[in-house]
Amino acid sequence: MSEHPVPVLSQEDVFNYDAYLFDADGTLWTHDEPIPGAIKFVQELISRNKKVFIITNNSSRSTRRYLQKVTRLGFPVEEKNIISPNTIIIDFCKRNPHFIRKGIYLIGNIGSKEALEEALDVECFGIGHDPMPDAAGEGFPSTITLEKEASCVVVGDDPHFSYLKLIKATNFLADPNCGFFIANEDATLPNDTYILPGTGCFAAALRTAVLPREPVLFGKPGEPMGRYLKNNLELNPEKTIMFGDRLDTDIKFGSVNGFDTCWVRTGTHSVNDVNRAIDGDDKSLVPMFTFSFTDVQ
């Protein structure tokens, strides 16, 4: 198999775009370590007056808190240039306020709760531990109560995901007017110790329970995030390129939204994965280019 199964983006061509979209973990940094050459490359783009955006599927913190990490790592990016599923959900709900007239049932964490409540002035409930009643006891499941009303269910990363939360979300979504929103469908989370199941695992369980209902996917590779970038940030797809390490999120996101795509070899997917994509049926997974930030002189 070829070391570079797709063309390498040349140093001359890499600066021919107006807008640059970057995945975060695995592309610009790994955990708390910047990828070699990434900071310098971003600095060079900004010095050339290019538009630079970090496009993350991480909905576990507000963009304000996310900016703290980006700044600490050394990337000169402003808060307005950090786009997460929370960004898109907030924009969507502001334009469709009937989804926030009541509360939001949130399968997520405190970061998502803070971001959504601050921007939308709505109560998000459901995060944290939600103990399951004794399933063997008399009265189950009549002992379960939906103590509040929800205008939508939002699914994000939740370390306390449980059968009881699945029951509650399923019953909220029995109302066809209740919105069904998913932050992302990432199968796993970046981690160098254990393989951690991601939001996509929780979303798959809820998808199955509420069939034939379909959710709105607000993260990569969903089209709502692409529409937001093109409409709100005035990006020209023909002059925009997406850099990422994952084929199923980053590269597919670029492909379905008409952006050029560039796979970086520093994260989740390998040369073997790219070769499998080339031989497979879903060509939206195949990147147009590959590139290493350390190649820039």
User: DSSP assignment of 159-187, as one string?
Assistant: TT--HHHHHHHHHHTTSTTSEEEES---S
Rounded to 5°, the CA angle 267-269-273 comes to 160
295 is in an annotated binding site: no
172: tokens are 């909220």
CA dist 139 and 149 (Å) reads 23
**Catalytic residue selected from 18, 23, 158, 273:** 23
CA dist 272 and 275 (Å) reads 5
| Catalytic residue check, 273 | no
245 is in an annotated binding site: yes
| Catalytic residue check, 25 | yes
* Partners of 104 in beta bridges: 124, 152
23 is in an annotated binding site: yes
**Catalytic residue selected from 25, 157, 186, 248:** 25
Q: Would you say the C-alpha torsion 27, 32, 34, 35 has a positive or negative sign?
A: negative
Q: Pick out the residues of the known binding site for Mg(2+).
A: 23, 25, 245
Q: Pick out the residues of the known binding site for substrate.
A: 220
The residues annotated as belonging to the active site are 23, 25
Q: Pick out the residues of the known binding site.
A: 23, 25, 220, 245
